[in-house]
Structure 1
Amino acid sequence: MSHFSYRNGVLHAEQVSLQALAAQFGTPLYIYSKAALVENYSAYADACRKAGRADAGALVCYSVKSNSNLAVLNLLGRLGSGFDIVSGGELLRVVAAGGDARKVIFSGVGKGRDEMKLALEHDILCFNVESIPEVARLNEVAGELGKRARISLRVNPNVDAKTHPYISTGLKENKFGVAYEDALNCYRTAAALSNIEVVGIDCHIGSQLLDDSPLLEALDKVIELVDALEAEGIPIHHLDIGGGIGIRYDDEQPVAVGDYLARVFARVDAWRKEKYGGRQIQVMFEPGRSIVGNAGVLLTEVQYLKHGESKNFAIVDAAMNDLMRPAMYEAWHGVQAVRQDAGRAQVYDVVGPVCESGDWLARGRELAIAPGDLLAFASAGAYGMTMASNYNTRGRAAEVLVDGVRAHLIRKRENPSDLFALESIAD
């Protein structure tokens, strides 16, 4: 997280002190670095350009579910990003942020009729469909609107992503996609429908992958399927290989984005040259975590230090409702004091005020802290705010985007009245 560093003993986001941000905006507080977002997106865009695919040959579709703040979407859209969405609400976010609906792909297993209608009315690029019943419903909805729906079929290649079971999506037991063995028949069915236009193929096997070998294995299986489809007269215009590249939370060494994309393009180009005389196929990616994960931190204030016989607790004002990943996945986030202190460190479990034993953010961390000190949880830009809740009637945190010496409030803090504004008392 190179854009978060200490200056004169105080942790900064770019050139802004986190102490100053806490004083101005309060805590808990999500803080994002614009420079980090641009740098991380550019790793994908630059690799596409290097492979000669700067225009229509490749499309990076940012995964909105990882961080859906309008300012983040607007920034990425202006950089040229497309968007991978999983709900009608996310589509409306993209549109509100000024994103191009023609660069939107709609994933997810449970799309409703209203969501399909909304996406068709916005003329999105493609639906990533995940079952024959979904294709049939989409055909009906498109027919009612007098439109044809462009689709890719999400194929489940049964490749083990070797990641956490909750974020693995490419095995037979996962709910996502169509089984590889059934895909050809599913494409035949879809291609025969009057309001469906088959344009691509999609595959996403999971996230937080540190090694790209499972992704390349899945790519090889998808390539075989494209050959079978082309042989049956079902042309495929784009190949969407999903996202999944991991980030460093602790001591992981994830594959470099540029190296991974170079291997993807080399395989695709060699295949197209051998089988199709070099006729190009568009390649799509769905990165989320690798763009925004290490571009953000969660800032929190220590409320109490509670020393026990077997454990010490640092009780902070952030909680599991602010950062769900530790409670849900037992995920590890780095945590550091905003003010460097030469005082004696002790080992703490960092916990929040929510009334659950599972409300912990970090365990067994050596910290030199006192009540009133600030802590920063690293690598919190992805699946932090988007997974936040209002449990215990706690307002969600504010969000700030730092650009050099400037800090922009990009989401106000919720207050209790916001949380029950939509409720009413029965007569």
Structure 2
Amino acid sequence: MNHTVHREQLIQIGIKYGTPLYIYDSGKIEIQYIKMKKAFSSVKNFRINYACKANTNLNILKFLQNLGSGLDTVSIQEVELGLKSGFHPKHIIFTPNCVSIQEIKQAVDLGVRINIDNLSILEQFGDDHQDYPVGIRINPHIMAGGNSKISVGHVDSKFGISYHQIPHMKRILKNTGLKIEGFHMHTGSDISDIKAFLRGAKVLFQIAIDFPNLDYIDFGSGFPVPYKKNDIKTDLYFLSNYLIEEFQSFCKDYGRQVTLILEPGKFLVSESGYFLVNVNVIKHTTSTVFAGVDSGFNHFIRPMFYEAYHYIENISNPYGRFRFYTVVGYICESDTFGFNRKISEIREGDVLCIKNAGAYCFSMSSNYNSRYRPSEVMIINGKDFLIRRRETMQDLLRNIVDVKI
């Protein structure tokens, strides 16, 4: 299994399909999936559910389904994409927040598993669907995550039912007769302190022990991948050794085995992705050299939205003299991919490659400034396949109603 994508291959794919362009290496996705499976191989009932909000291209979903993955979804549309990709309904878990009871009922009609994260919906659901077992998303009151926007398990988060509300939750279950089949948590993304994740897991065990007939405990994800050379990355074996020990101890006290579920998104697909952009212009100011490219935060919002770092390489001139550049986009606002970066000399017409572009990049893209969204390509067994066409003006106008004024 060859997962190394060479600079020359990236350049040729860029020439073939044009820029801006997302490229995904399926070999890297498979390596990450197998790595997690091996780390938890001693658990009899273990399931990986890919958090598809990271990247919902049908071809990536189908690839992971073929590897044996289940699916973590957060919208009814993601549920439908999962079904179209071949996932069995019972291998899809729907964990939304702040949606209407009507959307929850749509998930019932589709036959998928459901995690409910607030008492109001739990009560409404129990009144009408007491024979449809559900999971409960717990807020463990743990501050974790690499950025305030992606820390979702703390006391003031909108996500989950507070563990202090367990008595109220039990009363709703008693009043409605609703059956609980699992518990779920997710403390945040890019968790640099694995111990924070493990503290949340302990909270979940303490709650779950009081509920008979559980089928699964779902620990979410948030496992970081390296964006810089010396970045923290998930120590899977430290995590798995500790979590497995606690999980097996829980199962022993519980009296039987339940399924352990993890929901990696970024961990599986981030490092597989490359984003190619063409340099339109080199612009000098009194203090800065800008490299302006044929893309912007409409295609790749993470640096502007999360202040995220993504490594940028000049693949057209990799051996040039290193100089400092601020790489910016063409959107009519502050629009920066990287500030004051040391990059081999950039010339107009060069192709830059932005790394770690597989997760929360295309999936968060937009048509801001009426720009077209880019193409996506997937490398499978060394061959490149177009998996999404570049948009055109027809795509921008497709749903417009032209009223005669």
TM bin, normalised by shorter chain, reads over 0.9
How far, CA to CA, are the matches of 2:145 and 2:192 in structure 1? 9
CA separation of 1:224 and 1:405: change in aligned 2, threshold 3 A:
closer
What is the match of residue 223 of structure 1? Answer: 205
The equivalent residue for 1:244 is 222
Alignment partner for residue 87 of structure 2, among 99, 115, 130?
A: 99
Deviates more, 1:341-350 or 1:239-248: 341-350
Quote the Cα distance in structure 2 between the aligned partners of 1:4 and 1:318. 25
Please tell me whether the aligned partners of residues 314 and 352 of structure 2 are also in contact (alpha carbons under 8 angstroms): yes
Q: Secondary structure at the match of 1:299?
A: strand
Q: TM-score, normalised by structure 2?
A: 0.94
1:410–1:5 distance in 2 versus 1, CA, 3 Å: closer
1:32 aligns with 2:18: no
Distance in 1 of aligned mates of 2:128 and 2:349:
56
Write the mapping of 1:34-183 to structure 2, written as runs, cut at 5 A. Answer: 34-48=26-40, 50-53=41-44, 57-124=45-112, 126-140=113-127, 142=129, 148-161=131-144, 163-183=146-166
| Structure 1 stretches of 4+ moved >6 Å | none
Gaps of 5+ in 2: none
**Partner deviation per Cα, 1:77-111 (whole Å, 9 max, x = no partner):** 11111111011110111111112221111112123
TM-score (norm 1): 0.90
1:255 aligns with 2:234: yes
Aligned to 1:369: 346
Deviations along 1:219-272, one digit per CA (max 9) or x if unpaired, are 111111122x23xxx443211111111110112122222431232111110233
Which residue type is aligned with residue 338 of structure 2?
Answer: A
Name the residue aligned to 1:338: 315
> CA deviation digits over 1:326-352, x for unaligned, max 9?
111111000101134433332111111
Per the TM alignment, residue 139 of structure 1 is displaced from its structure 2 partner at its CA by 3.2
Matches within 5 A, 1:235-314: 235-250=213-228, 251-273=230-252, 275-277=253-255, 279-314=256-291
Closer, same or farther: CA 141–113 of 1 in aligned 2, 3 Å: farther
Task: Tell me which residue corresponds to 1:423.
Answer: 400
Aligned to 1:199: 181
Note if contact 1:34-1:402 (Cα within 8 Å) is conserved in structure 2.
yes
Residues 407-426 of structure 1: CA deviation (Å, up to 9, x unaligned): 01011111122111110222
Residues 77 and 100 in structure 1, CA contact (< 8 A), matched pair in contact too: no
Q: Deviations over 1:351-373 (max 9, x none)?
A: 1111012x111111122111111
- Are 2:16 and 1:21 aligned? no
Do the aligned residues in 1 keep the contact of 2:43 with 2:244 (CA within 8 Å)? no
3-state DSSP of counterpart to 1:322: coil
Classify the secondary structure of the residue corresponding to 2:142.
coil
- CA gap of 1:376–1:421, structure 2 versus 1, over 3 A, is same
Identify which range, 33-42 or 132-141, moves more after superposition.
132-141
Matched-pair identity in % = 29
Between the aligned partners of 1:282 and 1:239, the Cα distance in structure 2 is 6
- The 1-side partners of 2:136 and 2:23 are apart by 37
Residues 51-70 of structure 1, C-alpha deviations (whole Å, 9 max, x = no match): 142xxx12111101001000
CA distance 1:184–1:285, change in 2 (3 Å): farther
Q: Could you say what the CA RMSD is over the residues aligned between the two structures, in angstroms?
A: 1.7
Letter in 2 for 1:314: A
Rounded Cα–Cα distance in structure 1 between residues aligned with 2:21 and 2:141:
40
Structure 1's unaligned 5+ residue stretches are none
How many aligned positions are there? 401
Letter in 1 for 2:35: A
Residue 162 of structure 1 and its aligned partner are, at CA, apart by 5.1
1:191, 1:198 within 8 Å by CA — same for their partners in 2?
A: no
CA contact (8 A) 1:116 1:141 kept: no
Give the match's secondary structure for 2:246: helix
Assess if the C-alpha contact under 8 Å between 1:204 and 1:243 holds in 2: yes
Q: Could you say which residue in structure 1 is the equivalent of 2:370?
A: 393
Q: Give the Cα–Cα distance (whole angstroms) in 2 for the partners of residues 106 and 115 of structure 1.
A: 10
Shift in Å at residue 202 of structure 1?
Answer: 0.9
